[in-house]
Amino acid sequence: MFTGIVTDMGEVVSVAPRGELRRLRIACSYDAESIALGASIACSGVCLTVVVVAREGARTVFEVDAAAETLAVTTVGTWAEGTRINLERALKIGDELGGHIVTGHVDGVAKILSRDDFDDMCRFWFEAPHDLSRFIAKKGSVALDGVSLTVNDVEENRFSVLLIPHTLAVTTLGVRRAGDALNIEVDLMARYAARLSEAR
């Protein structure tokens, strides 16, 4: 479980195919001693399992494997050496829940339709996959590239979010532009509410 509050920006160091898997090496500022093998780290919203961790000079590098399903439904398949990604460690009991409950199980990919910068803030309009748009509600929550955000407006498959200067500075969303694709995870409670209403 995660909160959608990004705690580091990492960089993909290398990508190596391994049959249907891809092994990714990711550099970060986390203390290597604090990352256990088997730990879950949300990488731009995608929950991936650490299989190797090492200290390389001044930085920590951890390795994860992305399976065929992950490569098919997320942006991980487009990552290459130098790609910057948002990172979040798994939630611990007693941690502050500053965003919303995020599982790291990405539902699909949303596309940025427009970006409007003003007063050091930014408004994005996104297009969500049609089958996910029913889970997106005004004033509801959505995770985009692992960042917990509040939905401002919804128009059919389109929705907008407003980013404050802090979010633009400490996540990769600050450099995103129209046409970019981001991992999207809809709100867990919205998904269960829809499932319950269908069962009636």
> Hey, which residues are catalytic here?
2, 40, 47, 49, 67, 105, 150
Q: How far, in Å, CA of 187 to CA of 143, rounded?
A: 8
Beta strand pairing status for 21-28 and 8-18? Answer: antiparallel
Q: Residue 170: which H helix or E strand, with range?
A: helix 165-170
Nearest to 186 by CA among 143, 145, 157: 143
Residue 110: Cβ within 10 Å count? 27
32: left (phi over 0), alpha (psi -120 to 50) or beta: alpha
